[in-house]
Amino acid sequence: MEALDRTLYLKLNEMSEVQEADVYLKDVAQLYCDDEAVLRRCRELKLYALDPERERRYVKNVLSVIRKIHEMDPEIPVTSLGGSDFVISFRKKRPPRLWLQRLKAAFVCLISFCGAAFAIMTFNNDVGVGEVFGRLYQLVMGTESDGYTILEISYSIGLAAGILIFFNHFSVWKLNTDPTPLEVEMRMYEDNISKTLIQNAGRKESGTDVD
């Protein structure tokens, strides 16, 4: 029987959110090892003890993780995959407040709806969509438009359909499995936060940070 490969493959998450002050390796990384015993020990390895009274983001380095693994067992070879710096976001566990979440969601929807409606109305006013439709209707039909013709109805339906197709999301229904523009923007925002925190931490350590 061949001996199991004890090499631990380690892939750190760029940003991990934890709700307990004690942070374990399984909370911040994906792990793989042929030796199940080594894998179990490493998954339960305690990396950091955060301040339970201070909710904040902590910037850590893969070297500190490898050091902890070798302190537990210096015979475990570690292969790190991915980036060298990562962020731990510590937030205490709180009971869910559904009413507050729904209130926030309703507020965001209201602001988005009003903002989109205002943008559409100002756009239509600037380019004179009503006048264009009226003139076109008169040229084709030979009569004055009353403002409620097939042109206005088709434009309104097409505008709503275009918005739904572009955002690829309506309630729980989606046209396909592609991420929505909002999901893309949120991921980009999270990536920018992680990179900024890591860069700021590096500047402070080198003494070049400007407050």
* Lookup result for tokens 């990179």: 195
Rounded (10°) angle between helices 98-127 and 129-141: 60
Question: Could you give the number of structural domains in the chain?
Answer: 2
Higher model confidence: residue 103 or residue 93?
103
User: Are both 114 and 175 inside the same structural domain?
Assistant: yes
CATH of the domain at 71: 2.60.480.10
Of 73, 90, 107, which one is at a domain's C-terminal end? 90
Tens-digit pLDDT profile for residues 51-100: 888 888 888 989 999 999 999 999 899 999 888 888 898 988 878 788 88
Tens-digit pLDDT profile for residues 9-42: 999 998 888 988 899 999 999 999 998 999 999 9
In-domain check, residue 211: no
User: Are both 105 and 155 inside the same structural domain?
Assistant: yes
In-domain check, residue 203: no
Tokens representing 148 are 């409620």
What range does the domain containing 170 cover? 98-195
Please report the pLDDT score of residue 175 as a whole number.
Answer: 66
Please report the pLDDT score of residue 210 as a whole number.
Answer: 45
Q: Quote the CA–CA distance of 25 and 17 in Å, as a whole number.
A: 13
User: Are both 102 and 191 inside the same structural domain?
Assistant: yes
User: Are both 50 and 26 inside the same structural domain?
Assistant: yes
Please report the pLDDT score of residue 45 as a whole number.
Answer: 93
In-domain check, residue 205: no
Tens-digit pLDDT profile for residues 137-188: 888 888 888 878 888 888 888 888 887 777 766 666 666 677 777 778 888 8
Nearest by Cα to 195 from 65, 14, 29: 14
In-domain check, residue 202: no
